[in-house]
Structure 1
Amino acid sequence: MRLKPVALFIGGFVVYALLTLAVLVFYKDDPAQMSWQHRENFNAKVISRYKLSGKYSQDDVTGRLGGPDITQAVQLNGQILQLMYYRTHRKLPDGITTEDECTALLFIDRQLVAIGDVAVNQYQQHVSNGDS
């Protein structure tokens, strides 16, 4: 009994499709294992999908993106404000991550409330006013 080339091709394609599906379903992206270029792209893609109407906790975000590249925090009137920066675009190839190469995420009491320049402005406003 000899298998026809078409049957072998179809069988091989099915095996390839199943392996690909298994990788997509079970493989989790790990930012800690990515090169800096891939991590920047990954961070930008994930952050662009966050909507403030969703309830994203700080644990949800750090679980997906890993630890931030830069962070600032303050406690005001019993609330904790944390500004977390994730690098999303490199400006200078100097090996140093700066705030202008990142996208900021503002958390108040561990809930995401603002993204990007709005997050930085809200954080600075709360800190300069001394209240939240």
Structure 2
Amino acid sequence: MKLKPVMLFIAGFVVYLLLTLTVLMFYKDDPEQMSWQHRENFNAKVISRYQLTAAHTQDDITNRLGGPDITQAVKIDGEIYQLFFYRTHRKLPDGITTEDECTALLFINRQLVAIGDTAVAQYQQHASHGNS
């Protein structure tokens, strides 16, 4: 008779485990539904995992992170340079997102080529040469 409660507990635990694994494997994070604190942490975590040695397209990144907080773009000699800023760390609680609260991602022809300060420097270099 004591075996029945143990079996029920094990069956319940297995069902719980299967449901948890299903959610973890098939539930996609939606940055648009996150609070700003969770979104900052999410952005920082995802961006820190990007390696420039792998091919990352602009579509892949916007599908994962959502739209950028700030965007700059310029077309030079047929190449499109886009600088996306995703907020990853808040400095002032003023409700305004500024570039210094973000991590930059540089895309050339929709391919990720630089991250962070390097992305900003490369974009500024290309943009200033293209406009002169």
TM-score by length of structure 1 reads: 0.95
Q: How many pairs does the alignment contain?
A: 131
Aligned residue number for residue 9 of structure 2: 9
1:109 aligns with 2:91: no
Aligned residue number for residue 32 of structure 1: 32
1:89 aligns with 2:89: yes
Q: Mean Cα displacement is larger for which, 3-12 or 29-38?
A: 3-12
Aligned residue number for residue 62 of structure 1: 62
3-state SS in 1 of match to 2:29: coil
RMSD, aligned α-carbons: 1.4
TM-score by length of structure 2 reads: 0.95
Within 1, Cα distance between the matches of 2:105 and 2:124? 13
Q: CA deviation at 1:2?
A: 7.8
Write out per-residue CA displacement over residues 44-97 of structure 1, whole angstroms, 9 at most, x where no aligned residue: 111001000010000000010000000000000110000000000111111110
Aligned residue number for residue 75 of structure 2: 75
Q: CA deviation at 1:101?
A: 0.4
Q: CA deviation at 1:7?
A: 1.3
Structure 2 unmatched runs, 5+: none
Write out per-residue CA displacement over residues 89-122 of structure 1, whole angstroms, 9 at most, x where no aligned residue: 1111111100000000000000000000000000
One-letter amino acid of the counterpart of residue 103, structure 2: T
Aligned residue number for residue 18 of structure 1: 18
One-letter amino acid of the counterpart of residue 57, structure 1: T
3-state SS in 2 of match to 1:80: strand
Within 2, Cα distance between the matches of 1:102 and 1:12? 45
Percent of aligned pairs with the same residue?
Answer: 79
Displaced runs of 4 or more, over 3 A = none
1:119 aligns with 2:112: no
Structure 1 unmatched runs, 5+: none
One-letter amino acid of the counterpart of residue 76, structure 1: I
3-state SS in 2 of match to 1:4: helix
3-state SS in 2 of match to 1:15: helix
Write out per-residue CA displacement over residues 23-61 of structure 1, whole angstroms, 9 at most, x where no aligned residue: 011111000000101100110111001000010000000
